[in-house]
């Protein structure tokens, strides 16, 4: 009954272009925000933080980033893992070189460094499109992983070749390192995700977003209305890589703590994030959240049900997971390229008209 547009008239263009035009959606949004900030930090424990909450928050940032490039601007990338590695290593180098500077600054700067690298690897996108661009980004993926393995300067000449995060605090509370409480990890990532998602929403609803989508939908027509393809594509690469770099920095500094580049940021990372936006919904911020939640929760759920309750072998459960994800990818690509976000929207449209479907 609450879910109605009727009687909810818009009196200005600003209110017409707001994020949640329907009042009930706005309430639900604020409820989620209130729970995320006001409840979860007080109840979260190490298991939930490490198995679900922190990876979800970090993957959501990465998925928003890739969605900006692929979903909004139409440039397919398989280099996400490599760009996350850039963020992680940039963060590591900054943290160890300038220990007195806040880790928050380091994480943001790591995003900035990744943005520059992303622009560099985005340059070929002016000439090559689609499949060929995907292959070029794949090359970037392998090159970056190779680079971080090969050049000892990146891992400060450590014997293991790994990078290990030093402990850093914000307002006296550890946010990186072994002594970090679960709620601090969670809150640190949550704040960044919250701000970054809001910024992504702002960018995609304004003229920048329209330029990206114009290039995605028909680059020739975009050029004819005055969109410069080079700067537009490069801005998408820059913003996207900024997000992915921050995700990589958090993945290393907050989530894993110690990283071996090929293992943490290999090609499978690129695919996981790509699958998230395909399942969640290309060209949708909400879809990035949904896809990240889905692919983080699915293995946890399967492990608990199949291994924990039914007593299956762990590797069998892992194979089942791969099959489910593979099947879903194919199904979504064929039947619903806009993913869970579109299914959700359709469900809401039905609900809005209920009980009079016409």
Partner 1 sequence: MNAETPVEAIPTADDRKIGPVLMEMKHITLRFGGVKAITDISFDIREGEIRSIIGPNGAGKSSMLNVISGFYVPQEGEVWFRGARRPQMKPYQVARQGIARTFQNIALFDGMSVLDNIMTGRLTLMKTGLAAQSLWWGKAQREETEHREKVEKIIDFLEIQAIRKTPVGRLPYGLKKRVELARALAAEPMLLLLDEPMAGMNVEEKEDMCRFILDVNDEFGTTICLIEHDMGVVMDLSDRVVVMDYGKKIGDGTPDEVRGNQAVIDAYLGVAHD
What residues make contact with partner 1 under the rule CB under 8 A?
12-14, 17, 199, 202-203, 205-208, 210-211, 213-214, 216-218, 220-229, 235, 239, 283
Instruction: For partner 1, give the closer residue by CB, 217 or 263.
Output: 217
Nearest approach, Cβ of 347 to partner 1 (angstroms)? 18
Tell the smallest beta-carbon distance from residue 356 to partner 1 (Å): 20
Strand residue runs (E) in the chain = 163-164, 168-170, 173-176, 258-259
Residue (185 or 338) nearer to partner 1, CB: 338
Q: Long-range contacts for 179-187 (Cβ within 8 Å, ≥24 apart)? A: 180/254, 182/44, 182/45, 182/46, 182/48, 182/49, 182/50, 183/41, 183/42, 183/44, 183/49, 185/49, 185/54, 185/254, 185/255, 186/40, 186/41, 186/44, 186/49, 186/53, 186/54, 186/57, 187/37, 187/41
For partner 1, the closer CB: 16 or 46:
16
Min dist. Cβ of residue 278 to partner 1 (A): 16
Is omega for the bond preceding 218 within 30 degrees of 0, making it cis? Answer: no
Nearer to partner 1, 189 or 215 (CB): 215
Which one, 20 or 146, has the nearer CB to partner 1? 20
CB neighbour burial string for 232-260, b if at least 16 within 10 angstroms, e if fewer: bbbbbbbbbbbbbbbbbbbbbbbbbeebb
Shortest gap between Cβ of 21 and partner 1 (angstroms)?
10
The least distance separating partner 1 from the CB of residue 297, rounded to whole angstroms, comes to 29
């Amino acid at each position: 009954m609450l879910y109605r547009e009727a009687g909810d008239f818009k009196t200005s263009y600003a209110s017409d272009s707001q994020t949640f035009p329907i009042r009930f959606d706005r309430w639900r949004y604020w409820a989620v925000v209130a729970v995320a900030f006001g409840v979860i930090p007080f109840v979260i424990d190490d298991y939930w933080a490490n198995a679900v909450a922190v990876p979800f928050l970090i993957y959501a940032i990465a998925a928003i980033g890739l969605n900006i490039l692929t979903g909004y601007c139409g440039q397919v990338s398989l280099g996400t893992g490599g760009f996350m590695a850039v963020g992680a290593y940039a963060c590591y180098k900054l943290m160890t070189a300038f220990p007195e500077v806040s880790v928050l600054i380091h994480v943001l700067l790591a995003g900035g460094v990744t943005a520059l690298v992303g622009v560099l690897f985005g340059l070929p996108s002016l000439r090559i499109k689609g499949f060929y661009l995907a292959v070029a980004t794949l090359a970037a993926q392998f090159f970056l992983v190779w680079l971080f393995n090969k050049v000892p300067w990146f891992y400060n000449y450590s014997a293991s070749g790994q990078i290990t995060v030093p402990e850093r605090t914000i307002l006296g509370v550890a946010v990186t390192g072994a002594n970090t409480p679960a709620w601090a990890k969670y809150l640190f990532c949550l704040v960044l995700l919250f701000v970054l998602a809001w910024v992504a929403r702002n960018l995609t609803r304004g003229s920048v977003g329209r330029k990206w989508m114009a290039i995605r939908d028909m680059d020739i027509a975009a050029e004819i209305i005055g969109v410069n393809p080079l700067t537009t594509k490069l801005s998408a690469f820059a913003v996207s890589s900024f997000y992915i770099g921050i995700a990589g920095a958090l993945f290393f500094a907050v989530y894993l703590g110690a990283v071996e580049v090929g293992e943490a940021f290999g090609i499978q990372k690129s695919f996981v994030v790509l699958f998230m936006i395909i399942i969640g919904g290309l060209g949708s911020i909400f879809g990035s959240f949904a896809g990240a939640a889905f692919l983080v929760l699915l293995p946890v759920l399967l492990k608990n049900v199949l291994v924990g309750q039914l007593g299956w072998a762990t590797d069998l459960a892992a194979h089942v997971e791969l099959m489910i994800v593979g099947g879903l990818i194919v199904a979504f690509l064929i039947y619903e390229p806009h993913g869970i976000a579109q299914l959700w929207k359709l469900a809401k449209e039905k609900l809005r008209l209920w009980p009079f479907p016409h």
